């Protein structure tokens, strides 16, 4: 046990296979239960050429092929949050392999906020019903015989969750690699002080806990990396490591966020991901469109 109130079991060691998407610097994972063929997919990607309005599925197909080749049973598709920089590939994978799609219960807050921004009609449900499971803080669920556990970690967005599966923890955007620090906290519903508190919850896990990032940008030209440990983050994370105070973090994060441009794919990503990765409904000609709200973001 650790300093956190969350039950963890480092003796359970899932196999973690990473899939890096160079177009969006996202890392998706297939996590396999060590004692069965059950697995989960964490944060998959659907490919979009936004300039052309073209959607393809190369990244998701790679994940599907891995699951089929290794004869795994897909039980869960996990979204750590509503991503603003890539489109989720979860519904496409789910259609072919089954499994339940889960996200944090605060998805309803995101749906309310962005339902307004994109002026969605009443047919857009804001109750999270597009997902199979809405997780609360401390919830557990099974991947085969392995118990996975959910930590509510708001700050980057209100619906952010970190998933702990044995000795492997999937941080979403709550933490980046130690030399890259943390994600922005200035999206609607984001908050730097809240993000600091959420990061402390992750850092209260045991030092040997393996941490897997959702993004990496190859800080200062190094190779892309996605795995570290709680101990490494506690000591070396440039934004929160070495005992940095909440005040220092909030000041730094707020100043940095004010200088950041919007992610390139935020407009298509939010419209699709708030619908659990589904495209908006087709119009009466059977064609599908995304909106671009002017001066709203
Ligand atoms: Fe994100």
Q: What is the pLDDT of residues 69-98, one digit of tens each?
A: 999 999 999 999 999 999 999 999 999 999
Ligand 1 centroid to 165 CA: how many Å?
20
Ligand 1 centroid to 214 CA: how many Å?
8
Ligand 1 centroid to 285 CA: how many Å?
33
Ligand 1 centroid to 184 CA: how many Å?
8
Residue 2 is predicted with a pLDDT of 45
The larger pLDDT score, comparing residue 122 to residue 166, is at 166
Ligand 1 centroid to 51 CA: how many Å?
21
Residue 4 is predicted with a pLDDT of 62
Residue 99, pLDDT above cutoff 50: yes
Ligand 1 centroid to 268 CA: how many Å?
14
Burial of residue 258 (CB within 10 Å: 0-12, 13-18, 19+) is exposed
Ligand 1 centroid to 187 CA: how many Å?
9
Ligand 1 centroid to 86 CA: how many Å?
9
> From residue 39, how far is each of 9, 64, 75, 106 by CA, in Å?
18, 12, 6, 25
- At 248-285, the pLDDT tens digits run 999 999 999 999 999 999 999 999 999 999 999 999 99
Ligand 1 centroid to 274 CA: how many Å?
13
Q: How many CA atoms lie within 13 A of 63 on its CB side?
A: 36
Start-to-end CA distance of the chain, whole Å, equals 43
Residue 1, pLDDT above cutoff 80: no
**Rounded-to-integer distance, Cα 122 and Cα 115, Å:** 9
Average pLDDT over residues 104-126: 95
Q: What percent of the chain has pLDDT over 70?
A: 98
Residue 242 is predicted with a pLDDT of 93
Burial of residue 114 (CB within 10 Å: 0-12, 13-18, 19+) is buried
> From residue 288, how far is each of 228, 267, 280 by CA, in Å?
40, 15, 7
Return the closest-CA partner of residue 239 out of 257, 221, 262. Answer: 257
Ligand 1 centroid to 172 CA: how many Å?
7
Ligand 1 centroid to 150 CA: how many Å?
17
Ligand 1 centroid to 36 CA: how many Å?
31
Ligand 1 centroid to 242 CA: how many Å?
24
Return the closest-CA partner of residue 89 out of 108, 116, 61, 70. Answer: 61
Ligand 1 centroid to 85 CA: how many Å?
7
**Rounded-to-integer distance, Cα 297 and Cα 293, Å:** 8
Enumerate long-range contacts of 56-59, CB under 8 Å, 24 or more apart. 57/89, 57/92, 59/19, 59/21, 59/28, 59/89
**Rounded-to-integer distance, Cα 22 and Cα 289, Å:** 25
């Amino acid at each position: 046990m650790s300093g956190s109130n969350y039950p963890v079991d480092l003796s359970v060691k899932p196999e973690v296979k990473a899939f890096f998407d160079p177009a969006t610097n996202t890392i998706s994972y297939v996590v396999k239960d060590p004692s069965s063929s059950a697995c989960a997919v964490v944060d998959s990607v659907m490919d979009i050429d936004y300039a052309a309005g073209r959607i393809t599925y190369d990244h998701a197909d790679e994940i599907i092929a891995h699951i089929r080749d290794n004869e795994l049973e897909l039980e869960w598709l996990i979204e750590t949050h509503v991503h603003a920089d890539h489109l989720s590939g979860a519904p496409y994978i789910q259609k072919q392999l089954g499994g339940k799609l889960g996200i944090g219960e605060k998805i309803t807050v995101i749906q309310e906020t962005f339902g307004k921004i994109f002026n969605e009609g009443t047919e857009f449900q804001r109750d999270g019903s597009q997902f199979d499971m809405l997780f609360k803080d401390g919830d557990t669920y099974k991947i085969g015989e392995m118990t996975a556990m959910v930590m509510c970690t708001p700050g980057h967005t209100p619906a952010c969750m970190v998933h702990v599966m044995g000795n492997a923890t999937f941080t979403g955007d709550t933490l980046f690699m130690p030399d890259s620090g943390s994600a922005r906290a200035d999206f609607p519903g984001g908050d730097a002080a809240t993000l600091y508190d959420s990061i402390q919850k992750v850092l209260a896990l045991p030092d040997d806990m393996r941490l897997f990032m959702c993004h990496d940008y190859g800080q200062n030209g190094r190779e892309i990396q996605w795995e570290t440990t709680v101990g490494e983050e506690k000591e070396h994370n440039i934004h929160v490591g070495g005992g940095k105070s909440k005040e220092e973090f909030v000041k730094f994060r707020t100043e940095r966020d004010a200088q950041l441009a919007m992610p390139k794919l935020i407009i298509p990503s939010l419209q699709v991901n708030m619908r659990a990765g589904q495209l908006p409904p087709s119009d009466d000609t059977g064609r599908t469109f995304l909106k671009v709200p002017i001066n709203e973001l």
